[in-house]
Chain A
Amino acid sequence: MTWLLKLYPPRWRRRYGAELADLVAGQPFSIGLALDLIGGAIDAWRHPQLVPSTSSPGETPMIPRIMQLACGGYGPEITRTDKVRNLAISVGGTVVLSLLWLALVWLAKRHEFSGQTYLLSAAPMMYVIPYLIGLRYTSLKGRSALSQAMVIGGTSAVVLAILMAAGWISTKI
Chain B
Amino acid sequence: MARHDEDIDDFGRFAEPALLILVSLAGGPKHGYAITDDIAAFAGVRFGPGSLYGAIARLESRGFIAPLAAADRRNPYRLTALGGNALRARLANMATIARVGQRRLAQV
Contacts and interface: CB of A to CB of B under 8 A. Distances in A.
A33 B48 contact: yes
Interface string A109-126: 000000000000000000
Interface in B20-76: 31-33, 36, 47-54, 56-58, 60-61, 67, 69-70, 73-75
B102 to A, nearest CB: 34
Given A36-B49, A36-B51, A37-B50, A22 B70 contact: no
Contacts of A33: 48-49
Interface residues of B, number: 23
B106 to A, nearest CB: 39
Interface in A129-171: none
Contacts of B32: 19-20, 22-23
B31 A50 contact: no
Nearest to B52: A23
A58 B69 contact: yes
A37 B47 CA distance: 11
A40 B56 CA distance: 12
A117 B50 CA distance: 64
A105 interface: no
Contacts of B58: 50
Interface string A1-41: 00000000000100110111111101100001100111111
Contact of A19 (B53, B54, B69): B53
Interface of B: 31-33, 36, 47-54, 56-58, 60-61, 67, 69-70, 73-75
Interface of A: 12, 15-16, 18-24, 26-27, 32-33, 36-41, 43-44, 47, 49-52, 57-58
Q: Which 4 A-B pairs have the closest CB atoms?
A: A40-B50, A36-B48, A57-B67, A36-B50
